[in-house]
């Protein structure tokens, strides 16, 4: 799960249990799409990207779309890294 990213269904359960420390939205390597990552451990633990069933890292075309995804999960806020 952590080596390749976290699946949406696993993330849903972690959010419901308040087990996620931080949510961060950032740009992908091409800087054309957005990614959504979570920090599960302490403040120095690494960010884990959300993955889809088909892709190693799930991406969104707009920040608005990421916001809708986060809202659907029950996330109340996230940081945006440009």
Residue 1, domain member (yes or no): no
**Total domain count for the chain?**
1
The DSSP call for residue 47 is P
pTM: 0.88
Within 13 A of 30's CA, how many CA atoms are on the CB side? Answer: 7
Residue 47, domain member (yes or no): yes
Bridge partner residues of 37 (DSSP)? 24, 49
Q: Which residues of the chain have pLDDT under 70?
A: 1-3
Residue 68, domain member (yes or no): yes
What was the pLDDT predicted at 39? 93
What was the pLDDT predicted at 54? 87
Domain that holds residue 26: 6-80
What was the pLDDT predicted at 3? 60
What was the pLDDT predicted at 41? 84
What was the pLDDT predicted at 1? 40
Residue 51, domain member (yes or no): yes
């Amino acid at each position: 799960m952590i080596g390749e990213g976290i699946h949406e269904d696993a993330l849903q359960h972690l959010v419901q249990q308040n087990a996620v420390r931080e949510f961060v939205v950032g740009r992908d390597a091409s800087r054309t799409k957005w990614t959504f990552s979570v920090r599960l451990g302490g403040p120095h633990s690494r960010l884990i990207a959300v993955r889809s069933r088909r892709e190693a890292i799930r991406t969104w075309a707009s920040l608005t779309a990421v916001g809708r995804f986060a809202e659907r999960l029950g996330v109340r806020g996230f940081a945006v890294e440009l």
